[in-house]
Amino acid sequence: MAQRVADSERGARRIRAPRFAMALPAWIWFVFFFTLPVLWIVYYSFGYKPDIFHPIATDKLSFDTYHEAFSSTFLHVFSQTLQISILGTALCFLIGFPFAYWLATRVAPRWRGLLLGLVVVPFFVNFLVRTIGWFILLSPNGPVSSLLQRSGIRSEPLHLLETRGAVQLGVVYNYLALMILPLFVTLDRLDPAMREASKDLGASRWKTFRQVTLPLSAPGIVAGLLLVFIPLTGDYITALVLGGAKGNMAGVMVASQFTIAQNWALGAAQAVILIAMIMGTVAVFAVIALAIRTIARANRKITLPPIVEETA
Amino acid sequence: MSEPDEGLKILASPESAQRISRRAFMSGSVVVAVAGGSILLSACSSSSSAAGAASSGAASPTLEDQLAFLHWAAYDDPKLFKKFTQEFGPATSIDTYASNEEAITKLVAAAGSSGYDIVVPTGPYIPQMVANNLLQELDLSKIPNFKNLETVFANQPWDPGNKHSVCKDWGTVGWIVDKSQISRPINTWNDFIDVAMNEASGNFSLLDAQNEVMGVYFWANGIDWTTTDQADLDAYEAWTLQMAPHVKKFESYPGYQFASGNYALSHVWNGDARQGFNSFKDPSRYSWGMGAPKTELWMDNWTIVQGAPHPEAAYAFINFILDPANSLQDLAFHGYNTGITGVKEAAQAAGYPFLDMIFFSDAQLATMQAQEINAAFDREVQIFLKMKAAAGG
Amino acid sequence: MSALEAPAKRRRRDLVDVTLRVWGIVVYAFLFLPILVIVAYSFNNGRAMLVWSGIGLDGYRTGITDPTIQDAVKTSIVAASGTALIATVLGSFAGIALARRKGKWTVLFLALVFLILVTPEIVDAIALLIWYVRIGGPFGPNATIPAVSYGMLRLWAGHSLFATAVVTLIVRARLLGLEETLEEAAADLYAPPARRFRQITLPLMFPAVLAGALLAFALSLDDTIISSFVSVAGASPWPVYVFSAVRNVLRPEIASVSTLLLMLTLIAIASVALVLRRTGQSGGDVAKTMTVGG
């Protein structure tokens, strides 16, 4: 029997493709349609705009365009974008975590799948159409405004549309599911026995939550934060539809260099800055999170007294 | 092989210990296969989508089956497109833009591969478009209805001899104000700016076109808007940064939006304003004002894109739209003067409303000025984009 | 715990329970609010979506008969089908390789996948547009591939990027979650690699592949930014049509067609869920598979 096994293995070993062979088509696809185009954009960011009708020239490469991109007005948009996206991510977490916790711990297991699916259903409506839904809701003659006016809470039409607040609301709405899903998955996987054990050891509910549930769900939290923060910062549509002039976000600014100004060098430079800003913020928060974890761990350290030998 | 005698060990994890149904797998594969097949079928049939090409009348046998427009929005009566398709055959499709810069960017970026046949640029942009090989030369013999155009609207300075363009319509710019929110009369651009920064602050819109915004400043300050003087441009830039925080939105088609109460004051083109008025339940609540003391005279033109895949259909359409009856129908829809001989009298005879927003007196015409694309253009565009960035509060 | 303490604990638990449940309902209301608004306004009988003028089916009638809308929806469905095919094939094989053939290359590949998921879509859109124009060929007007327009090729390549990355991760997660023991057992029973793959690996990862295909389809249907930048005349998908409508005049047809598309998507998902059910997956498992958590 061992001989037969060895024979078939030898046969299989005759032609041995490299380990990554099956991933090669995807790799080529990615490189050709992602890596190369994006590298091309980075290359363009060192060019300049020669005249009105030519969007880019790369005979003279320099950092001049970056100087222009770092001008105060444009930087202001980047900082505002960061504010909206950090606040938006935080709001998504504050709204999504209790919801995911409820779904994972308080709902009977046989209903969880269905209710989770229900969360996702709104997100099968087109992103743009969902945002239009908010456009209608928030418009001065829309249902919310009429309701507020008729019930006497407000005396004049609602002016929430075309403001930064509308964009904040819109992005929280559009990315909430991306926070709920990974949080639910992690919380769902948590063994309830852990929480029960903690309570059996006398910990209060809050302490259990803080020292058992929260740390154990850390991977899901991290995934949710990343899944929301990253696309939110580059958001283009929500800002365009709901923001008006006030809701200018970096994505819109980058796009308008390409769609209106025809200045590909400047647009490319701003795009590179946008990506750098996203990665930079993630790195900063990763460092902070690691620091918090180290401190928390140090606090929780138990130093056992030296073992005293008991005789007899 | 170790331990062959230990009985059958359950090696599968609980989830996968279920029945791995061969049928389910097959049905899944069928779905994928059907999807794959439908791709090829749909891709094959997408090119033969001529809508009821019962071409009655004098249709040239060489017309293609499609016609692709890169066009402003709500700029032609959709019924006319249907009529064109019924009479001539080609099915029409429209992709829109909100400013000339956008249209040019799309064509330049595509470098001849955009797939559009007709684009409708404003006059002053045409010379550069021609210089950069974006437009085809026109064969006017294929447009016999060209003779219907009043001679004063042909042979414009930006396109002598109509080598690349034919007048579609012309118009001007001004404002709509919601009188229930703004009681002050607005007679000039200075009034407009003043109201915008005060009563209407945060509740007004500017056109999403850099040349129009530029016009507001220069006309209000009595400066020729074709200036290339850097001091003038610096002053313009300073003004935009002052104005930016008060702007609610950069909006090129605010006419309809007034009906939902989105703005108290809007910078608007006359035809779009008229379309808004046609939709208002109570038109007396609003008022339209033409820009004063000076304002713009712009002319939009039919042009054929270089590399257009369906040129014969394009010629057929341009000829079709220059027919007096069709032109009148279009005018009633978009509200701009199409320049066809006798169209004003026909409109009056047909009793269309709000004609004062379409046809202007000679005195009014004298205050209108055309734009010029010059060396200041790039800077003006960047000032506009900076204004948008600053408007973010 | 004395009997006196127990009732106090139960009451507190109820308050937290009730609060959580109320929160759950609030969140559902929040999530569905704009959807309900869209469905409601799809029955608006007026010319402009924002101006309510009576209930009626005008929006649906116009939406179904308008040739531009028909073209847009057809383009969207064809684009989504092609994307799902490409993403599923490329992503599944990549996922298998990542899970079963780990090596030094794994980190590099995962880094690339991560980069794709991290890059803002607007950057992708701009880069692709410039790239397509630069390389021309099958993505330019002089394409010689029969029966498929170059516009559609642009959409397939552009949409499949993100979708392939997602499918890769889903399949990888699924296979990592299953030990290799089944495949090893098959090998021990003398099954050659191809047969092992066909009869063991493939059916095992089938739920992930199906979920991935569905996700790729939905992602492509939803893709707006890349589409609006790279699309050409005659190959404009539905979101591009909506996008240009947003920037000038919104009409009720948009809401009507969106409602119809939502119904269709739900039916598709329900069918997939049904198929997965028959392989024994629970609802939670399906959800977990699709959220890369399986």
pLDDT for A106 beyond 80: yes
As a whole number, mean pLDDT of residues B281-309 equals 91
Q: What is the pLDDT of residue A107?
A: 87
Q: Which of B114, B251, B381 to mutate to test the interface with A (most CBs of A within 10 A)?
A: B381
Minimal Cα–Cα distance from A107 to chain B, Å?
A: 21
Which chain C residue has its CA at the smallest distance from A21's CA? C97
Q: List CB contacts (< 8 A) between A235 and chain C.
A: 120
Q: How far is CA C74 from CA A42, C70, C220, C221, in A?
A: 35, 6, 13, 11
Handedness of CA A8, A10, A12, A15 (dihedral sign): negative
Closest CA to C125 of A33, A290, B289, A164: A33
Chains that touch C (3 or more CB pairs under 8 A): A, B
Residue positions counted in chain B: 393
Minimal Cα–Cα distance from B208 to chain C, Å?
A: 10
Q: Which of C249, C253, C277 to mutate to test the interface with B (most CBs of B within 10 A)?
A: C249
pLDDT for B21 beyond 70: no
Minimal Cα–Cα distance from A224 to chain C, Å?
A: 11
Q: What is the pLDDT of residue C206?
A: 83
Task: Report whether C50 contacts B259 (CB < 8 A).
Answer: yes
Other CB atoms within a 10 A radius of the CB of residue C225 amount to 27
Task: Report whether C290 contacts C211 (CB < 8 A).
Answer: yes
Q: What is the pLDDT of residue A99?
A: 94
Minimal Cα–Cα distance from C39 to chain B, Å?
A: 19
> Three-state SS for B254?
coil
Q: How far is CA A22 from CA A19, A297, C94, in A?
A: 8, 42, 6
Q: What is the pLDDT of residue B13?
A: 40
CATH superfamily of domain region B66-170+298-360: Periplasmic binding protein-like II (3.40.190.10)
pLDDT for A44 beyond 80: yes
Show me where the domains of chain B are located: 66-170+298-360, 173-296+368-390
Q: List CB contacts (< 8 A) between A80 and chain B.
A: 392-393
- Give the span between the Cα atoms of C286 and C272, in whole angstroms: 10
Q: Hey, what's the torsion of the CAs at C90, C94, C97, C100, to 10 degrees? A: -110
Q: What is the pLDDT of residue B329?
A: 93
B126 Cβ neighbours under 8 A, 6+ residues apart? B135, B158, B159, B164, B165, B301, B303
Beta carbons of B259 and C51 less than 8 Å apart: yes
pTM: 0.80
Closest CA to B255 of A236, A164, C47, A237: C47
- B25 in contact with C at a CB cutoff of 8 Å? yes
Which residues of B, range 214-243, sit inside 8 Å of A by Cβ? 241
Residue burial B55-86, b: 16+ Cβ < 10 Å; e: rest: beeeeeeebbbbbbbbbbbbbbbeebbbebbe
Which chain B residue has its CA at the smallest distance from A54's CA? B108
- Please report the DSSP string for B156-205 in residue order: -TTSGGGSS-EEEEEE-EEEEEETTT--S---SHHHHHHHHHTTTTTSEE
What is the token pair recorded at C36? 């309900």
- Give the span between the Cα atoms of A290 and C67, in whole angstroms: 57
Q: List CB contacts (< 8 A) between A262 and chain B.
A: 101, 104-105, 108, 381
* Reported ipTM: 0.83
Beta carbons of B102 and A259 less than 8 Å apart: yes
Among partner residues A27, A127, A139, which is closest to C50 by beta-carbon distance?
Answer: A139
Higher pLDDT, C99 or B46: C99
pLDDT for B45 beyond 60: no
Q: What is the pLDDT of residue C291?
A: 53
- Give the span between the Cα atoms of B393 and B32, in whole angstroms: 50
Minimal Cα–Cα distance from B236 to chain A, Å?
A: 16
- B203 in contact with A at a CB cutoff of 8 Å? yes
Other CB atoms within a 10 A radius of the CB of residue A70 amount to 14
Q: List CB contacts (< 8 A) between C116 and chain A.
A: 30, 34
CATH architecture observed for domain A70-259 = Orthogonal Bundle (1.10)
As a whole number, mean pLDDT of residues B334-346 equals 90
Q: Which domains, and CATH codes, for chain C?
A: 67-290 (1.10.3720.10)
Beta carbons of A55 and B105 less than 8 Å apart: yes
Q: Which of C41, C53, C81, C214 to mutate to test the interface with B (most CBs of B within 10 A)?
A: C81
Q: What is the pLDDT of residue B328?
A: 93
Task: Report whether A116 contacts C284 (CB < 8 A).
Answer: yes
Residue positions counted in chain A: 312
Task: Report whether B30 contacts B36 (CB < 8 A).
Answer: no
Beta carbons of A38 and C123 less than 8 Å apart: yes
For residue B340, the 8-state DSSP code is B
Lowest mean pLDDT among A4-8, A103-107, C237-241, C278-282: A4-8
Beta carbons of B93 and C81 less than 8 Å apart: no
Q: List CB contacts (< 8 A) between A248 and chain B.
A: 388-389, 391-392
- Give the span between the Cα atoms of C292 and C286, in whole angstroms: 10
Lowest mean pLDDT among A79-83, A190-194, B90-94, C109-113: A190-194
Q: Where are the alpha helices (DSSP H) in chain B?
A: 22-45, 78-88, 100-110, 126-131, 189-197, 210-220, 230-243, 270-279, 311-321, 324-334, 343-350, 362-366, 377-390
The structure tokens 């304003």 sit at: B273
Beta carbons of C118 and A102 less than 8 Å apart: no
For residue A33, the 8-state DSSP code is I
Minimal Cα–Cα distance from A262 to chain B, Å?
A: 6
Beta carbons of C93 and A241 less than 8 Å apart: no
pLDDT in tens, B222-267: 999 889 999 999 999 999 999 998 998 888 888 878 877 788 999 9
Which chain A residue has its CA at the smallest distance from C260's CA? A125
Q: Which of C38, C42, C53 to mutate to test the interface with A (most CBs of A within 10 A)?
A: C38
How many contacts, defined by CB atoms under 8 Å, are there between A and B? 104
Binning pLDDT at 50, 70 and 90, where does residue A236 land? confident
- Give the span between the Cα atoms of B160 and C245, in whole angstroms: 35
Closest CA to C230 of A33, A25, A236, A234: A33
What is chain A's mean pLDDT, rounded?
A: 84
Task: Report whether A97 contacts A220 (CB < 8 A).
Answer: no
Q: Which of C32, C44, C98, C131 to mutate to test the interface with A (most CBs of A within 10 A)?
A: C131
Beta carbons of C279 and B51 less than 8 Å apart: no
Task: Report whether A124 contacts C266 (CB < 8 A).
Answer: yes
Q: What is the pLDDT of residue C14?
A: 78
pLDDT in tens, B110-139: 777 778 999 999 998 998 889 888 999 999
Look at strands B247-250 and B166-171 and give their pairing: unpaired
pLDDT for A246 beyond 60: yes
Beta carbons of C224 and A12 less than 8 Å apart: no
Q: What is the pLDDT of residue C157?
A: 93
Q: How far is CA B192 from CA B54, B188, B206, B250, B255, in A?
A: 52, 6, 11, 16, 17
Q: What is the pLDDT of residue C10?
A: 54
- B371 in contact with A at a CB cutoff of 8 Å? no
Minimal Cα–Cα distance from C49 to chain A, Å?
A: 9
Beta carbons of A34 and C115 less than 8 Å apart: yes
> Three-state SS for A239?
helix
Beta carbons of C31 and A271 less than 8 Å apart: no
pLDDT in tens, B163-212: 999 999 999 999 999 998 899 999 999 999 999 999 999 889 999 889 99
Task: Report whether A243 contacts A40 (CB < 8 A).
Answer: no
Q: How far is CA C268 from CA C205, C222, C248, C265, in A?
A: 20, 15, 32, 5
Task: Report whether B208 contacts B254 (CB < 8 A).
Answer: no
Which chain A residue has its CA at the smallest distance from B206's CA? A245
- Give the span between the Cα atoms of B265 and B81, in whole angstroms: 33
For residue A306, the 8-state DSSP code is P
Beta carbons of B260 and A142 less than 8 Å apart: yes
- C232 in contact with B at a CB cutoff of 8 Å? yes
pLDDT for A5 beyond 70: no
- Give the span between the Cα atoms of B93 and C240, in whole angstroms: 13
- Give the span between the Cα atoms of A135 and A174, in whole angstroms: 13
Binning pLDDT at 50, 70 and 90, where does residue B41 land? very low
CA A148 distance to own-chain centroid = 33
pLDDT 10s digit of each residue in chain C, 294 long? 444 444 545 555 678 889 999 999 999 999 999 999 999 999 988 777 777 778 888 888 888 888 788 889 999 999 999 999 999 999 999 998 888 888 888 999 999 998 898 788 888 998 998 888 888 777 776 666 767 788 899 999 999 999 999 899 888 888 887 777 877 888 888 888 888 888 888 888 888 888 889 889 988 988 899 998 888 877 889 998 888 888 777 888 899 999 999 898 888 878 877 877 776 655 556 555 555 443
Domain B173-296+368-390 in CATH 3.40.190.10? The answer is yes
Minimal Cα–Cα distance from C36 to chain A, Å?
A: 8
What is the token pair recorded at A155? 């005396």
- B389 in contact with A at a CB cutoff of 8 Å? yes
**Residue B167 β-bridge partners:** B301
Beta carbons of C203 and B25 less than 8 Å apart: yes
Q: What is the pLDDT of residue A312?
A: 52
Look at strands B286-290 and B298-304 and give their pairing: unpaired
Q: Is A27 exposed, middle or buried (0-12, 13-18, 19+ CB in 10 A)?
A: buried
